[in-house]
């Protein structure tokens, strides 16, 4: 009996020793098979940023615990080409990833990543990779030891609050699993604890961004309550809201009693975690009926002829007689329209349409017969007239120091208020 017990103990020790040896072998094999980066070891905080339009995203990251280097694609191509002895045109995303791996970058962040859609699609990506849309602000790819396979993350879809490039990049970075783990208040792994400590300011900034939507909703509720509480002192007067809260517009009365609204929204915005309001660059034209305030709730969208009802407009002018409207859009396409009850839902008929390159700051004056603009160049007053018949007239008057106004008297006469130059006095 005793011999059997000793035999069992001996066999147990052999089995335990075998398990320990197997575990050690597994660790060794695991280390041998783990993805190895090239060159310097990758750091989660070390970010290579490929800029496109903005230049401030990397600077936004610096005080948040990250070390980010940024530059446009061409600059990075030149850098990689010089190091790898390639032509700059030969440097694509694969070469950029190799470069980042060698230099210890943990991630590559790409602004407007649709530029690399085909190259990203050719990479081996972790399962569940997000789709890159045309309006995706940033995509982030893991590098080297963090890339077996590459993990792709992108900025989330835009919400009510418009974010600047820095906060958008921060969102895309913390969508990476290794950085996401640092968001836990009490991570189990010591290396994640250290990462959380080094990125504590970045985590605070991300938390601040997540609260902006709620702040914007509260701001809208407060503005709506203030609007509803507005009452005139005259008991016979009545306040009729024409726009929702946080919307701005310039009312342009027309000769037929209607009102054209050049409308531009006030957009909640943040580029540093603090909520502000800024005027949206795009606007719309809406027509209010002649029976105000009875039909204040009826807004006709004046189809501007563009694909979107919201377009960038440099200028919207109404003639002195209030029977013509001039619109100069963001591409410097100018449209002159006159009142015509039979022309579309807004009763505006186009009579002139042409481009005015580089003239977005010119002083235009509308008339149903055409457009006039004035400028003073080297003490010469230049008045340009474009008629609805397609004619162009140019009037030059020397000896003029400045001009402050230009007014149509009728279809053939213009009046300009000027100050004579000293040489002409």
Query: What per-residue confidence (pLDDT) applies to 297?
Result: 59
Confidence of residue 8 (pLDDT cuts 50, 70, 90): very low
Lowest-confidence pick of 39-53, 72-86, 132-146, 206-220 = 39-53
CB-CB contact of 24 with 45 (8 Å): no
C-alpha 77, offset from chain centre: 25
From CA 265, how far away is CA 243, in angstroms rounded?
10
Query: What per-residue confidence (pLDDT) applies to 21?
Result: 39
Confidence of residue 17 (pLDDT cuts 50, 70, 90): very low
Confidence of residue 37 (pLDDT cuts 50, 70, 90): low
Tokens at 38, concatenated: 């090239």
Q: In this prediction, what percent of the chain has a pLDDT beyond 70?
A: 86
**How is residue 115 annotated by DSSP?**
G
H/E stretch holding 139 = strand 138-142
Domains of the chain: residue spans and CATH: 43-210 (3.40.50), 215-368 (no CATH), 369-425 (no CATH)
Tokens at 64, concatenated: 């948040």
Query: What per-residue confidence (pLDDT) applies to 18?
Result: 43
From CA 299, how far away is CA 284, in angstroms rounded?
11
Q: Select from 423, 384, 421, 386 the least CA-distant residue to 400.
A: 421
Query: What per-residue confidence (pLDDT) applies to 396?
Result: 93
C-alpha distances (whole Å) from 57 to each of 70, 165, 180, 290, 349 are 8, 5, 20, 49, 46
pLDDT tens-digit readout, 236-261:
777 777 777 777 788 899 999 988 88
Q: In this prediction, what percent of the chain has a pLDDT beyond 90?
A: 50
190, pLDDT greater than 70: yes
Q: Of 15 and 288, which is predicted with more confidence?
A: 288
Confidence of residue 228 (pLDDT cuts 50, 70, 90): confident
Tokens at 151, concatenated: 């993990």
Query: What per-residue confidence (pLDDT) applies to 405?
Result: 86
From CA 380, how far away is CA 397, in angstroms rounded?
5
From CA 52, how far away is CA 75, in angstroms rounded?
11
Lowest-confidence pick of 12-21, 202-211, 240-249, 342-351 = 12-21
Q: Beta strand 311-318 with 299-301: parallel, antiparallel or unpaired? A: unpaired
Query: What per-residue confidence (pLDDT) applies to 39?
Result: 65
From CA 212, how far away is CA 63, in angstroms rounded?
20
Q: What is the mean pLDDT of the chain?
A: 84
From CA 207, how far away is CA 214, in angstroms rounded?
12
Question: What is the CB neighbour count within 10 angstroms for residue 184?
Answer: 12
Query: What per-residue confidence (pLDDT) applies to 293?
Result: 65
DSSP 3-state of 140 = strand
Query: What per-residue confidence (pLDDT) applies to 14?
Result: 43
Give 190-247 as a DSSP string.
HHHHHHHHHTHHHHHHHHHHHTHHHHHHHHHHHHHHHHHH---SSTT------S-TTE
Confidence of residue 295 (pLDDT cuts 50, 70, 90): low
Query: What per-residue confidence (pLDDT) applies to 224?
Result: 82
Query: What per-residue confidence (pLDDT) applies to 73?
Result: 93
Query: Residue 367, preceding bond cis, omega within 30 degrees?
Result: no
DSSP 3-state of 327 = strand
Query: What per-residue confidence (pLDDT) applies to 303?
Result: 57
Tokens at 1, concatenated: 């009996």
State mean pLDDT over 214-227: 87
State mean pLDDT over 367-382: 92
State mean pLDDT over 334-356: 88
From CA 240, how far away is CA 230, in angstroms rounded?
10
Kindly give, in sequence order, each residue whose CB lies less than 8 Å from that of residue 145, ignoring residues fewer than 6 positions away: 34, 35, 36, 37, 41, 42
C-alpha 147, offset from chain centre: 29
57, pLDDT greater than 60: yes
306, pLDDT greater than 50: no
Q: Of 115 and 57, which is predicted with more confidence?
A: 115
Query: What per-residue confidence (pLDDT) applies to 420?
Result: 92
Tokens at 35, concatenated: 């993805």
105, pLDDT greater than 90: yes
From CA 318, how far away is CA 366, in angstroms rounded?
6
5, pLDDT greater than 60: no
From CA 17, how far away is CA 31, in angstroms rounded?
21
Question: What is the CB neighbour count within 10 angstroms for residue 269?
Answer: 18
Lowest-confidence pick of 82-91, 145-154, 287-296 = 287-296
Confidence of residue 72 (pLDDT cuts 50, 70, 90): very high
C-alpha 31, offset from chain centre: 44
The residue assigned the tokens 């000896």 is 399
183, pLDDT greater than 70: yes
96, pLDDT greater than 90: yes
H/E stretch holding 60 = helix 57-61
Q: Beta strand 311-318 with 282-288: parallel, antiparallel or unpaired? A: antiparallel
State mean pLDDT over 58-63: 92
C-alpha distances (whole Å) from 309 to each of 35, 248, 303, 329 are 51, 16, 7, 12
pTM: 0.69
Confidence of residue 179 (pLDDT cuts 50, 70, 90): very high
CB-CB contact of 262 with 249 (8 Å): yes
Query: What per-residue confidence (pLDDT) applies to 424?
Result: 63
């Amino acid at each position: 009996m005793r011999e059997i017990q000793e035999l069992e103990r001996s066999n147990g020790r052999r089995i335990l020793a075998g398990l320990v040896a197997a575990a050690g072998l597994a660790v060794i094999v695991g280390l041998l098979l783990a993805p190895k980066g090239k060159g310097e070891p990758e750091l989660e905080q070390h970010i290579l940023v490929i800029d496109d339009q903005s230049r401030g995203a990397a600077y936004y990251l610096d005080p948040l615990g990250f070390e980010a280097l940024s530059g446009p694609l061409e600059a990075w191509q030149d850098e990689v080409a010089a190091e790898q002895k390639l032509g700059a045109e030969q440097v694509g995303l694969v070469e950029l990833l190799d470069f980042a791996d060698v230099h210890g970058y943990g991630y590559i962040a790409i602004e407007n990543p649709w530029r690399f859609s085909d190259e990203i699609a050719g990479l081996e990506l972790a399962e569940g990779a997000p789709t890159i849309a045309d309006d995706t602000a940033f995509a982030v790819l893991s590098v080297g030891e963090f890339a077996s396979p590459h993990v792709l993350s992108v900025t989330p879809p835009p919400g009510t609050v418009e974010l600047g490039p820095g906060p958008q990049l921060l969102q895309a970075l913390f969508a990476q699993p290794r950085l996401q783990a640092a968001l836990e208040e009490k991570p189990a792994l010591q290396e994640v604890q250290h990462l959380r400590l080094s990125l504590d300011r970045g985590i605070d900034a991300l938390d601040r961004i997540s609260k902006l939507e709620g702040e914007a909703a509260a701001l809208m509720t407060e503005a709506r309550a203030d609007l509803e509480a507005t009452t005139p002192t005259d008991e016979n007067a009545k306040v009729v809201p024409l726009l929702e809260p946080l919307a701005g517009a310039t009312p342009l009365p027309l000769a037929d009693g209607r009102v054209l609204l050049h409308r531009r929204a006030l957009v909640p915005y943040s580029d540093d975690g603090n909520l502000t309001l800024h005027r949206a660059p795009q606007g719309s034209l809406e027509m209010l009926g002649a029976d105000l305030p009875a039909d204040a709730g009826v807004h006709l969208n004046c189809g501007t002829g563009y694909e979107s009802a919201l377009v960038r407009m440099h200028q919207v002018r109404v003639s002195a007689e209030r029977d013509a409207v001039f619109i100069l859009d963001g591409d410097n396409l100018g449209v002159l329209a006159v009142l015509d009850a039979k022309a579309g839902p807004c009763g505006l008929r186009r009579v002139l349409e042409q481009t005015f390159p580089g003239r977005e700051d010119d002083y235009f004056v509308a008339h149903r017969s055409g457009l006039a603009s004035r400028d003073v160049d080297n003490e010469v007053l230049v008045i340009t007239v474009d008629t609805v018949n397609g004619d162009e007239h140019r009037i030059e008057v020397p000896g003029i120091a400045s001009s402050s106004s230009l007014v149509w008297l009728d279809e053939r006469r213009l009046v300009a208020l000027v100050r004579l130059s000293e040489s002409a006095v």
